[in-house]
Structure 1
Amino acid sequence: MHSSAHYRQLLARLPQIAVAADQFEVLYSAQDFKRRILALIASATRRIYLVALYLQDDEAGREILSALYAAKQRNPALDIKLFVDFHRAQRGLIGKGKQGGNHLMYQAMAAEHEHQIEIYGVPVKGRELLGVLHLKGFIFDDVVLYSGASLNDIYLHQQDRYRFDRYHQITSPELARSMVNYVDDLFVKSDAVQRLDHSDIPSAKQLKGPIRRFKQNLRQSQYRFSTMPVNTQEVAVTPMVGLGKRNNQLNLMIRNLVRATEREIFICTPYFNPPKELSKDIEDLLQRGCKVTIVVGDKTANDFFIPPEEKFSTIGGLPYLYETNLRKFAERNQRHIDDGRLNLMLWCCERNSYHLKGIFVDDEWALLTGNNLNPRAWALDLENGLLVHDRRHLLRPQFNAERENILTNTKRISHFDQVEQLQDYPEQVRKLLGRIHRVKAHLLLKRII
């Protein structure tokens, strides 16, 4: 097994973009994130590129889309492109019955305006279950606003509930250019990628050949930029993209980052379902004596949690399945919990949900990503991330404040018995999980959800 120094050298050899430390800003809440999106839309003069899993047909989604159209009407030369997942945009919400897709709103709003914005559906795979557009990043001129959040009421705290994520603003012409060029070269030029603001959208079946070729191109492509020297007032940023399990450069970078830990690692993930390799890497750190903090959402803070007073559906079993993973991990590593090396922190805040992703290593490295650090992200979805190397600790105050903000609504698991198990669950959940385990369906579910 290689030493941490070996993996630090691998990370240090990655191409990098120099970013002035005073051009890097952490935002701390969903409301701040929404306000910043609207402000950047209003101030953009050349281009606005938004890449997200979805922009929802709800109050917040319509507010964002209306702001984009208003900006386009004021300045018809403004290049505005929105990229969302092809499949997700054309269906309703899971568990909400028969609904129209978000594409209907896109088409209706396009018909109301003289100057159009371009809304693209990106089919990473032929079926949503097999892979989606999970790429992140909003570009406004030379500003990159990066978050794992999509665009809807709960992500933007439009009403009384919010979904907690991470939010970062980086002003860098080079980074913005690299991210814009990637989607222009791969998405806009692909026959598989379709305009969703137009009514004649081909089906995924009709696009079978183009989607296959598109998937191959995605697997072979990476952000393009020239590596830059980093001065004493700058940090290094490396954007990385990945799709599929084989030769996935993003997965490799994440594993190298974990294995580069010398003293302490801080990991955020919404669902405790790490790929086997990553789980082994984390347990190796514990054996080496490193301090490991993992902040994960309580099952009640999961996107799919259904309160007991509401009608239960199958999808509501997922948070309990993830919780069984967490309990097993805690039980296996109880001695590290006892000696303070392992801190498993459960996030819970009223009826709000938790969607944070990312890694901090040794006060020197930070990963911004939408990657859920689970088998689906590892093998099926198109993911990206920004690796920040802060060798001189210029961002330490901001990152310390961000971690404190993340930990605000958490409690530490001091013993695995604090985590509920099958016998503690409601009867409907017990029956569902029993059926799932009898046919070993949990092994498949862990890979695809």
Structure 2
Amino acid sequence: MRLLKSASDFTYLTGIPLQAESVRTLHTAAEYRSELLAKIASAKHRIYLCSLYLQDDEAGAEILQALYAAKAARPALDIAVLIDWHRAQRGLIGAGKSGGNAAWYQAISKANHYAVALYGIPVQTRELFGVLHLKGFVIDDEVIYSGASLNNVYLHKQDKYRHDRYLLIHNKALANCMVQFIREHLLSSAAVHRLDVPEIPATRSIRREIKQFREKLKRARYDCHVPDAEISPHQLSVTPLVGVGKNNPLNKVICQLLAASKKQIIICTPYFNFPLAVTREINRALKRGVHISIIVGDKTANDFFIPPEQPFKVIAALPYLYEVNLRRFAKAHQAEIASQQLQLHLWKDADNSFHLKGLWIDQHYALMTGNNLNPRAFRLDLENALLIHDPQLQLLAQRQQELHCIMENTRQVRHYRELEKLADYPDPVRKLLSRLSRTRLDRLAYRVL
């Protein structure tokens, strides 16, 4: 697999050939949950699930029970669930101390005859400095890709949902490539341990293995063996990308995509906090005359938002911190906003939340990713993406329909003053952000949250 040589010569990024009829985009979390459960129930050979977490709630139980049922029906089925090591062993933010989801995995395992392996992947020795943010499920030869984790809100099991992107690709070469990466670079590591069994090692006892694991991950790549004879620059294709740490290949491709744009860039991100490299490419694109649309969640649609009438928690300041960033950006680019060259769209749908990420470049490239396009994603977490190249616009109708569904719940910001400022925020938020700004701790927060 070859990456592009330069931003001005983008044809060198090649991948796995696709048939347009093998690609399907879903538009709702409920539809995604139904599809995922149906695929698990009909699996014949393998199920590999990568997610930040599999939560001990109704939706999480539904998924885990489906996996055990599939294993009982077909004992030879190869099942592996990969979740973040640290996230699985703690309770929810703000909740009391607990054994986390791992204790639940062990209880479910003990009650079942057949084993479903759940692996904890420790990307760093501490959760604050890096987690498993790898996305993508492989069920037989189907790749199901979304930024969503596995719990009630991501799967719309109850009243509220967290809106994400949902892509299905039926392609054996892509499925094999993603499974090979998991086996070769993740499951083979001495730092990786099962969470569904008793006697899980303490993190401090495997610190050396974790550090060695992270160093190896920096060199890990998807290795998709596609004969050159099958590759044409004029056909629909998909390239899987992966990266962890500064200047990794995924980061470079994201910046190269932005740099290669000629007419249009569309960006989705739930947390408005671009890395400096992304901000630089956006500014350069605006100077080139490229039209840019940025879709971001309203602060009330952020998954960390807590209504002012509820007890304040420090984590609840994050949505406001991102809005401060967005207002600053909008103020700096008010001229481009006024001319409509730059369009900012805020997503909000009642009390639901927004978790979409990705890029669309000049109609020919679409990046499906769990990468939040923020400094944490660019430096700390293990991230991946699927880059679709569509030179003949075979998937244009699907992309337009997906964007239409996203934009239905947005409003356009036509002036930076439409966004609230620090003085408008609830007192606890205003005081905390003022204190952070005085001590410059807000800069640290932008880097790790």
Fold agreement, TM-score > 0.5: yes
Return the offset for 1:423.
0.5
1:8 and 1:257 in contact (8 A); partners too: no
> Is it true that 1:129 corresponds to 2:128 in the alignment?
yes
1:186-201 matches, within 5 Å, as 186-201=185-200
List structure 1 runs of 4+ shifted beyond 4 angstroms. Answer: 230-234
Q: Deviations over 1:338-384 (max 9, x none)?
A: 10100000001110000000000111000000000000000000000
> Is it true that 1:104 corresponds to 2:112 in the alignment?
no
> Is it true that 1:240 corresponds to 2:241 in the alignment?
yes
Specify the alignment match of 1:423 in structure 2. 423
1:351-370 matches, within 5 Å, as 351-370=351-370
Specify the alignment match of 2:212 in structure 1. 213
1:20-169 matches, within 5 Å, as 20-169=19-168
Return the offset for 1:15.
3.6
For structure 2, the residue ranges without an aligned partner over 5 or more in a row are none
Return the offset for 1:100.
3.0
For structure 1, the residue ranges without an aligned partner over 5 or more in a row are none
Return the offset for 1:20.
0.7
User: Which amino acid in structure 2 is aligned with residue 151 of structure 1?
Assistant: L
> Is it true that 1:380 corresponds to 2:380 in the alignment?
yes
Specify the alignment match of 1:302 in structure 2. 302
Return the offset for 1:83.
0.1
Return the offset for 1:230.
4.4
Return the offset for 1:97.
2.4
> Per the alignment, do residues 224 and 232 of structure 1 end up closer, same or farther by CA in structure 2, a change over 3 Å counting?
closer
Matches of 1:201 and 1:12 in 2, distance apart?
47
Q: Deviations over 1:288-318 (max 9, x none)?
A: 1110000000000001100012111100000
Specify the alignment match of 2:390 in structure 1. 390
Matches of 2:394 and 2:196 in 1, distance apart?
43
Aligned-CA RMSD value? 1.4
1:271 and 1:322 in contact (8 A); partners too: yes
Return the offset for 1:123.
0.1
1:5 and 1:260 in contact (8 A); partners too: no
1:239-258 matches, within 5 Å, as 239-246=240-247, 248-258=248-258
> Per the alignment, do residues 425 and 292 of structure 1 end up closer, same or farther by CA in structure 2, a change over 3 Å counting?
same
1:20 and 1:233 in contact (8 A); partners too: no
User: Which amino acid in structure 2 is aligned with residue 369 of structure 1?
Assistant: T
1:263-412 matches, within 5 Å, as 263-412=263-412
Matches of 2:377 and 2:350 in 1, distance apart?
28
Report the 3-state secondary structure (helix = DSSP H, G, I; strand = E; otherwise coil) of the residue aligned with 2:160. coil
> Is it true that 1:226 corresponds to 2:225 in the alignment?
yes
Report the 3-state secondary structure (helix = DSSP H, G, I; strand = E; otherwise coil) of the residue aligned with 1:363. coil
Return the offset for 1:113.
1.2
Matches of 1:441 and 1:381 in 2, distance apart?
21
2:14 and 2:231 in contact (8 A); partners too: no
Report the 3-state secondary structure (helix = DSSP H, G, I; strand = E; otherwise coil) of the residue aligned with 1:207. helix
2:85 and 2:121 in contact (8 A); partners too: yes
1:21 and 1:234 in contact (8 A); partners too: no
Return the offset for 1:48.
0.1
Moved more, 178-187 or 143-152: 178-187
Q: Number of residue pairs matched?
A: 444
> Is it true that 1:443 corresponds to 2:443 in the alignment?
yes
Return the offset for 1:13.
1.3
User: Which amino acid in structure 2 is aligned with residue 348 of structure 1?
Assistant: K
TM-score (norm 1): 0.97
2:327 and 2:416 in contact (8 A); partners too: yes
Return the offset for 1:233.
9.7
Report the 3-state secondary structure (helix = DSSP H, G, I; strand = E; otherwise coil) of the residue aligned with 1:149. coil
Matches of 1:53 and 1:59 in 2, distance apart?
17
> Per the alignment, do residues 23 and 126 of structure 1 end up closer, same or farther by CA in structure 2, a change over 3 Å counting?
same
1:218 and 1:243 in contact (8 A); partners too: yes
Report the 3-state secondary structure (helix = DSSP H, G, I; strand = E; otherwise coil) of the residue aligned with 2:205. coil
2:142 and 2:172 in contact (8 A); partners too: yes
Q: % of aligned pairs identical?
A: 49
Return the offset for 1:105.
1.1
